[in-house]
Amino acid sequence: MSDSAENRGTGPDALRTDLRALTSSTLADGDRLPSERELATRYEVNRLTVRRAIDALVAEGLVVRRQGAGSFVSRATRTRSLESSFFSAEVRARGHRPGSASVSVSTVAADARLSAVLSVPPSTPLAAVMRLRTIDDVPTAIDHAWIPAHLVPNLNLGAEESLFETLCTRYHLVVEKIDETVSASVLEPRSARMLRSVSMMPALFITKVMRGTSGDPLAYCETLLRGDKYTYRNTVVRKGV
Contact 120, 111 (CB under 8 A): no
Contact 196, 139 (CB under 8 A): yes
pLDDT in tens, the chain (241 residues): 544 444 457 888 888 888 888 887 788 878 899 999 999 999 999 999 898 888 777 766 678 888 888 898 876 544 445 555 678 877 887 778 889 999 999 999 999 999 999 999 999 999 999 999 998 899 999 999 999 999 999 999 988 888 988 999 999 999 988 888 888 999 999 999 999 999 999 999 999 999 998 889 999 999 999 988 877 766 665 555 4
Entry pTM? 0.64
**β-pair type (202-211, 217-226):** antiparallel
DSSP H or E stretch at residue 129? strand 125-135
- Round to the nearest angstrom and report the end-to-end CA distance of the chain: 33
Enumerate long-range contacts of 11-14, CB under 8 Å, 24 or more apart: 11/43, 11/44, 11/45, 12/43, 12/45, 12/49, 12/53, 14/43
Distance CA 110, CA 86 (A): 24
User: How many CB atoms sit inside 10 A of residue 140's CB?
Assistant: 27
Residue 131 vs residues 32, 53, 115, 231: alpha-carbon distances, Å = 37, 29, 22, 19
User: To the nearest 5 percent, what fractions of the chain are helix, strand and coil?
Assistant: 30, 30, 40
